[in-house]
Amino acid sequence: MSRTARTLTGATLTLALSVPAVGAAGADENDVPGTAGAETLTGVAEPERRDFYEPPEDIPATPGTVLKEEPSTSVLDPLGLKAAHFDARRVMYSSLDREGTPIAVTGIVITPKKAWTGQGERPVVSYAPGTQGMGDGCAPTRFLSDSFEYESLFFSSLLAEGYSVAMTDYQGLGTPGAHTYMNREVQGHAVLDMARAARALPRSGLATSPIGIVGYSQGGGAAASAAELRAEYAPELPVKGVVAGAVPADLAKVAENLDGSFWAAFLYFALVGLSQGHHVDLPAYLNEDGKALAEKVESACVTNFGEYAFTESADYSADGRPITDYLDEEPFKSVIAENTIGERTPDVPVLLTHSRLDDTIPYGVGKQLARDWCASGTNLRWSPNWAPLHLGGILPNSSQVIPFLEDRFEGKALRSNCWAVR
């Protein structure tokens, strides 16, 4: 297959979107998602989960430690017909939340059984998935086994290239407690520690593999965060390049765009996720309908987005104000500030893409991130496009993933085009 043809199938899908949360101080600071016995933000009981997703009582403080593993034979098709060509292992590994507390995160490592014939060692791509939802049943590793995971349509091209793919479930998605959707730091940790776990996985043959990181939208935010955090958090990881598309770098601007829109569900996902991650007493800011909505959101998947389309957040707040009115007030102002991407400088080459016609994460948000990174000295390739809407922007982003990573894995230097960022 030609390189051009390969890149047209190479993809990084992430339906993920982002938004800010509302909150106040007061949620239980001892209730940490991804630890044994953690509860949801609203206190709604989660469905019984398989033993594999139950964290141990004591979680190692060393990030990336493999806690358990098991085969996942149905990763690419319901009948496992391609299992002969890939080794797929579901893993639970240790990570750290935004406060440095050890947590257990689940994910999957998929490696082609065919011998690697490229330069050096077989690369591992830490693949940051897009929005899956908030309920445990929405975890990518669950979707891969139980139903259909849309990301498999896209990471399969990376496998066809011979790369190993390691995809995280993120904090609290599959494991106990609420998923900390759109929490910048913990998402970056999960992506970097997924790469660590892949290299540490027994018999994987990946112990010295170079690393690539890929994500779009929510996944783009997680990938961008990982790029910013690598030097301090995971300096030993040989990350050769990062591809981040439609990054929700400024949550306040994204929130304004989502409220009352077709994709309003993602505003509520983030409202719950950020409230959980920052110990926000969310019910204190909601009326009775809002409290019922929050309970419903905690078990919703991305496939339920239509149930929330075009709803207005003001209809659910205790004082009738929209969520966006809270964002300049404490503690919400600090929550937004802490989750801003662009205030730290990646030390690895980055490809950043965004559609000028994005209807979900405004183009200006991505362009400002490009400006911020360029100003701080990031080796950046800025690649805007005219694809229709947010979902359309996935395709031009995806078409560049494999050629960008291939060049980085071959040791070719990235020529920054920061001069073009205006």
Residue-level pLDDT at 197: 98
Does residue 315 form part of some domain?
no
Residue-level pLDDT at 7: 35
Domain range holding 238?
3-251+336-420
**pLDDT exceeds 70 at position 30:** no
pLDDT tens digits along 285-316: 999 999 999 999 999 998 888 999 999 999 99
What is the band of 319 on the pLDDT scale with cuts at 50, 70, 90? very high
Does residue 216 form part of some domain?
yes
Check which CATH number belongs to the domain holding 201 and give it.
3.40.50.1820
Question: How many angstroms separate the CA atoms of 199 and 168, rounded?
Answer: 14
Does residue 157 form part of some domain?
yes
Query: Quick one: tokens of 252?
Result: 């306040």
Look up tokens 């080794």; give the residue. Answer: 87
Question: How many angstroms separate the CA atoms of 96 and 352, rounded?
Answer: 26
Mean predicted confidence (pLDDT) in 50-74: 93
Question: How many angstroms separate the CA atoms of 107 and 171, rounded?
Answer: 10
Does residue 175 form part of some domain?
yes
pLDDT tens digits along 188-246: 999 999 999 999 998 899 999 999 999 999 999 999 999 999 999 999 999 999 999 99
Q: What percent of the chain has pLDDT over 70?
A: 88
Which strands sit side by side in the sheet containing 211-216, from one edge to the other? 66-71, 86-96, 102-112, 164-168, 124-128, 211-216, 239-245, 350-357, 380-388
Does residue 264 form part of some domain?
no
Question: How many angstroms separate the CA atoms of 123 and 125, rounded?
Answer: 7
User: What H or E segment, with its residue span, contains residue 409?
Assistant: helix 394-409
Does residue 285 form part of some domain?
no
CB atoms within 10 A of CB 276: 31
Mention every residue, 6+ apart, whose C-beta is less than 8 A from residue 332.
20, 21, 22, 23, 326
pLDDT tens digits along 125-166: 999 998 889 999 988 888 877 767 665 666 778 998 999 999
Closest C-alpha among 89, 51, 323, 281 to residue 194 = 89
Does residue 367 form part of some domain?
yes
What total of structural domains would you count in the chain?
1
β-bridge pairing 350-357 and 211-216: unpaired
Residue-level pLDDT at 10: 34
Residue-level pLDDT at 130: 87
Does residue 314 form part of some domain?
no
